[in-house]
Structure 1
Amino acid sequence: MADKCDLCLLGLIILSSLLTGTSGADHVFISSGEDVRLSCNKTLSDCKSKTTWNYNSFRHSAVVELIDRGIKKNDTERHERLSLESDCSLNIKNVTEEDYGLYTCRQYVNDRQPGPDVNVSLHVLHVSVSPSSSSSSSSSSSSSQTEISPGRSVTLSCQLYSYTGFSCDDRVSSEGFELLWVNQAGVYLKTDSRYQILSSSALGHCNITLTTTLLSEDNNREWICQLTHRNQLQTSVRYTVKYSDPQIQEKLKSV
């Protein structure tokens, strides 16, 4: 049997029957830094005043009410990033890794629910770098940059946060999910000896790290963490290394 770390296969549980307390949940995969729209799948007239959105994750001991009958709760930690659309979908701006979890749309007519809850499970892909840089910045919604120098060892950690109640290893390859690092050409970096790639898992998230020693030619090089399902891309995060020191830039130009 192939080694789990070599395969980097996720045991992500996407069957709705395995999601804690849910039935018929939709699944949305997004990269941190992007905006996302969670559909309520409702066609009620004037639905905004009849809609409630709740949220649950491992970070909270109880369900958090985000929107109550169309009114946004201002005491939530991310209320400024939330908005309710005219079709009752929930918009989340600049998604972070802490936004993963189970979102529930519930509607009321005369204090009664005309139909069942709509559950949406949000899965967030996020990349962090070690050592960190105080000058790091996000260049786009799905791409990050870190200003460091050649000769240093760097580790990129790509984590998928999911509200499943299971670790990645619980169902290795059973759902056909895969988390991997590729280069700009889409070539799997595990085939290159200069990269060390390791996988790990814990309750609620999966992790794949890429470690390498930076070369002069790595300036502006892009590495991509991809989440695929049965070889179909779900979402990805692009990470670009940029050498900003003027002396380093001059040295690179002369090479």
Structure 2
Amino acid sequence: MSAFRGIHMYLLLLHLTAVTGQYTAFVVRDGDRVTLPCENVTYNQNECEHTSWLFTGAGNTSTVELVTLGQVGEYAGAKSDRLSVAENCSLVIKTVTVEDVGRYSCRQFNKSRQQQGPDAHVYLSVIIRSEYNDSDTVTYSCSVTTYRWCTQRVKWLFKGQDITDVKTRQSYCSTSVTFKTSHYIYTSGSGSLMCEATDVYTGRVQVFTFGLQSSGDDATTVRTTDESPKEKVWWRYVTVSVGLALLITSVVAVNMWTRTKESKTQIAENVVNNYEDDGTEEYENM
């Protein structure tokens, strides 16, 4: 099962690279503000009159035009008052919610209102902490909602270190930790429990600090680690190469299995036919 999951992840990354030519992603906390860059913006624009922003939500196939030639459009709906366009044509979203998760596409037009070049995509994910109390036990969950595929690996940290002495559950895009309210983690105060999100494609690490008790005083991102541009390029080529290798290996393996099965079937049919022929001849001789 893990092998198939690995193949699926590599093929996903190969798809993202092949389709977009680049991979730009942001993970922000529910309620935060984010600025999505337009990587293909052209110069000499007056109030971004040649730039439009399109949005495809998580799990959706339909696309909505949020910004039309520099102006927030009517199709932005209820989120229009939370959107604005910066001077460099980046898209600014205030008070981010889970409904904002998805793919944002920056599109350029020429003076004739014809599209100029391919879209530049930005993937926005939202991280959320939830709390569940049961008598003298508390469970904290940290989950990341992403666009279609999970590209984040999350885990809980205590003062920046892995948690080893309490019950934890961890999977892609979700993790939980359970302990008693008398445990030193719970009594250590706000800022000690952190949720780390690692982008499996770029290797970018973000650490979010959450208050242990429902005080609403969650801190902002405390640490962000990015690879250098050269490392990103190197990692991208490695990912594509490995993905192609895995794809080819899978195709060859399936092809060999199919041929082997057909060969065995043919041998079985020949044996049956020979048996029937021999029986017929013997009956005629008698």
The letter for the 2-side match of 1:100 is: V
The letter for the 1-side match of 2:82 is: R
Question: What is the Cα deviation at residue 48 of structure 1?
Answer: 1.4
Match of 1:73 in 2: 73
The structure with the greater share of residues assigned to helix is 2
Between 153-162 and 233-242, the greater mean CA deviation after superposition: 233-242
Post-superposition Cα deviations, 1:54-91, rounded to whole Å, max 9, x if no partner, equal 11123434112111112212452322221101111001
Match of 2:155 in 1: 180
Match of 1:49 in 2: 49
TM-score by length of 2: 0.60
Q: For 2:214 and 2:23, how far apart are their aligned partners in 1?
A: 44
Question: What is the Cα deviation at residue 235 of structure 1?
Answer: 1.9
Match of 1:15 in 2: 13
Work out whether residues 17 and 23 of structure 1, in 8 Å CA contact, stay in contact via their aligned partners in 2: no
Q: For 1:228 and 1:129, how far apart are their aligned partners in 2?
A: 22
Bigger relative contact order, structure 1 or 2 (CA pairs below 8 A, ≥6 apart): 1
The letter for the 2-side match of 1:108 is: F
The letter for the 2-side match of 1:181 is: W
Task: List runs of 5+ in structure 2 lacking aligned partners.
Answer: 3-8, 216-286
Q: 1:120 aligns with which of 119, 122, 144?
A: 122
Identity %: 27
Work out whether residues 155 and 211 of structure 1, in 8 Å CA contact, stay in contact via their aligned partners in 2: yes
TM-score by length of 1: 0.67
The structure with the greater share of residues assigned to strand is 1
Larger radius of gyration: 2
Partner SS state of residue 212, structure 2: strand
Query: Compared with structure 1, are the counterparts of its residues 38 and 13 closer, same or farther at alpha carbon in structure 2 (3 Å cutoff)?
Result: farther
Q: For 2:108 and 2:65, how far apart are their aligned partners in 1?
A: 13
Aligned length: 201
Post-superposition Cα deviations, 1:172-206, rounded to whole Å, max 9, x if no partner, equal xxxxx64211112x1211x11xx2111245xxxx2
Task: List runs of 5+ in structure 1 lacking aligned partners.
Answer: 3-10, 132-148, 169-176, 245-255
Q: How does 1:1-255 map to 2 (within 5 A)?
A: 15=13, 17-18=15-16, 22-41=20-39, 42-45=41-44, 46=46, 48-74=48-74, 75-109=76-110, 110-131=112-133, 152-163=136-147, 165-166=148-149, 178-184=153-159, 186-189=160-163, 191-192=164-165, 195-200=166-171, 206-215=173-182, 218-219=186-187, 220-221=189-190, 222-229=192-199, 234-242=205-213
